[in-house]
Structure 1
């Protein structure tokens, strides 16, 4: 089942006929809100607003573990996120849609990055952190409706909530980043630990602040002036995606924990065994 993770401005899913509202309470705390289950066309889907209703959570306040666990427990096998991003390259212009395919974690120690620890040891491969099948499906959908979607971008995640300095923006470019955002890490890596195929559609709002032209520097007002139009493009892609057949998650993602968990079952507590079985399902 496909789960939609709504970012800034996407706090509900138009056209979703809700059939169930699932509590966001998890062994890892409270998710950003209830998980909504419903139907759009022929597909049963899940929806969760990453920042909560009314955008009440800053990026470092989001309980990413609870969000991913709640979606997995509700039946998610794929997650498609929507995120506002700043561009670190001229080729990704404000207003563009871009699929993120690689990630660099530049966040600080302000968010829990893994389900594991405290007696449950595991090391999951994230060399290719997103689902190629899901990326292909979204890009192909864009082509079908004449909405260009770039792909292959490297997303660098920073903690925020402040917007960066010009020196930081130049440093992120030197690190190999194409886009900068505040929310996709650890979400992308937790999805892999939960054996869920993940991808994000980035909506470019600005050029961050690496350009010498100060009129191009990111600011909150500028972000939201353009963002509504860009979000409409992304919504059109999603609507079209849900009219056709959805891709299948890659077997290697759906079996990511097969050889990754090192702790023997008999060493786990009943509580640990229960939440691990959810991740393995």
Structure 2
């Protein structure tokens, strides 16, 4: 089942026929809100607003573990996120859509990064953290709707909530990053630990702060103005995506824990076995 994680401005899914609201309480704390299960274009899916209703949570306040766990427990095998991103490349223009396929974690380890620890040891491969099948499906939907979308990009995730300095923007460019945002890490890596195929649609709002022209530098006002204009494009692509058969998640996503676990089941307590069984499903 596909789960949609709505970012800035996407706090609900228009047209979703909600059949169940699933409480977001998990062994890892409370999710950003209830998980909505419903149908759209005769397709069952899940929805969760990453920042909560009314955008209550800043990126560093989001409980990413609880969000991913709640979606997996509700039956998700694929997770498609939407989020605002800044462009670090001239050819990735504001007002377009962009899909990263690699990540650089610049959050400095201040967020809860993993489900594992506390007596449960595992090392999950994230060499290819994004589902190429999901990116391909979204790209196809974009092409059918005449929407500009760039794929194959690298996303740098920064801690926030402040907007970055010009020096930081230049540094991220030197690292080979094309996009910068505040929310996809650890979300992408937790999805892999939960054996879900992951991809994200970035709504490009600005050129961050690396250009010499101060008028091009990122600001909250510019983000929301551009995001509102681009959100209609993203919704059109999502609408088209949901009209088609879902892609098949790759085995490297759905079997990520097969060779990653170091702790034997015999060494786990009942609570650990319970939450691990959700990730393994």
Residues in 1 aligned to 2:151 and 2:190: alpha-carbon distance in whole angstroms: 22
1:220-263 deviation digits (Å, cap 9, x = unpaired): 01111111110100000000111111101112211110110110
1:140-183 deviation digits (Å, cap 9, x = unpaired): 11111111211001000000000011111100101111000000
Counterpart of 1:125 in structure 2 is 125
> Structure 2 matches for 1:12-161, cutoff 5 A?
12-161=12-161
Residues in 2 aligned to 1:225 and 1:79: alpha-carbon distance in whole angstroms: 27
> What is the DSSP-based 3-state SS (H/G/I as helix, E as strand, rest coil) of the residue aligned with 2:239?
helix
TM-score (norm 2): 0.99
1:41-70 deviation digits (Å, cap 9, x = unpaired): 121000000000000000000000000000
Counterpart of 2:248 in structure 1 is 248
> What is the DSSP-based 3-state SS (H/G/I as helix, E as strand, rest coil) of the residue aligned with 2:277?
helix
Residues in 2 aligned to 1:252 and 1:180: alpha-carbon distance in whole angstroms: 26
Runs of at least 4 residues of structure 1 off by over 4 A? none
Structure 2, gaps ≥5 residues long = none
Matched, 1:238 2:241: no
Residues in 1 aligned to 2:156 and 2:77: alpha-carbon distance in whole angstroms: 25
Residues in 2 aligned to 1:69 and 1:277: alpha-carbon distance in whole angstroms: 11
* Alignment: residue pair count: 281
How far does residue 209 in structure 1 lie from its aligned partner after superposition?
Answer: 0.3
TM-score (norm 1): 0.99
> What is the DSSP-based 3-state SS (H/G/I as helix, E as strand, rest coil) of the residue aligned with 1:231?
helix
How far does residue 109 in structure 1 lie from its aligned partner after superposition?
Answer: 3.4
Residues in 1 aligned to 2:244 and 2:54: alpha-carbon distance in whole angstroms: 31
> What is the DSSP-based 3-state SS (H/G/I as helix, E as strand, rest coil) of the residue aligned with 1:109?
coil
Residues in 1 aligned to 2:84 and 2:186: alpha-carbon distance in whole angstroms: 16
How far does residue 110 in structure 1 lie from its aligned partner after superposition?
Answer: 2.5
- The root-mean-square deviation of aligned C-alpha atoms, in Å, is 0.6
Residues in 2 aligned to 1:76 and 1:109: alpha-carbon distance in whole angstroms: 26
Counterpart of 1:203 in structure 2 is 203
Residues in 2 aligned to 1:148 and 1:215: alpha-carbon distance in whole angstroms: 24
Counterpart of 1:165 in structure 2 is 165
How far does residue 265 in structure 1 lie from its aligned partner after superposition?
Answer: 0.5
Counterpart of 1:262 in structure 2 is 262
Structure 1, gaps ≥5 residues long = none
> What is the DSSP-based 3-state SS (H/G/I as helix, E as strand, rest coil) of the residue aligned with 1:72?
helix
Residues in 2 aligned to 1:40 and 1:181: alpha-carbon distance in whole angstroms: 29
Residues in 1 aligned to 2:127 and 2:39: alpha-carbon distance in whole angstroms: 33
Residues in 1 aligned to 2:259 and 2:23: alpha-carbon distance in whole angstroms: 31
Residues in 2 aligned to 1:234 and 1:119: alpha-carbon distance in whole angstroms: 41
Residues in 2 aligned to 1:227 and 1:103: alpha-carbon distance in whole angstroms: 22
Residues in 1 aligned to 2:140 and 2:109: alpha-carbon distance in whole angstroms: 37
Residues in 2 aligned to 1:61 and 1:109: alpha-carbon distance in whole angstroms: 14
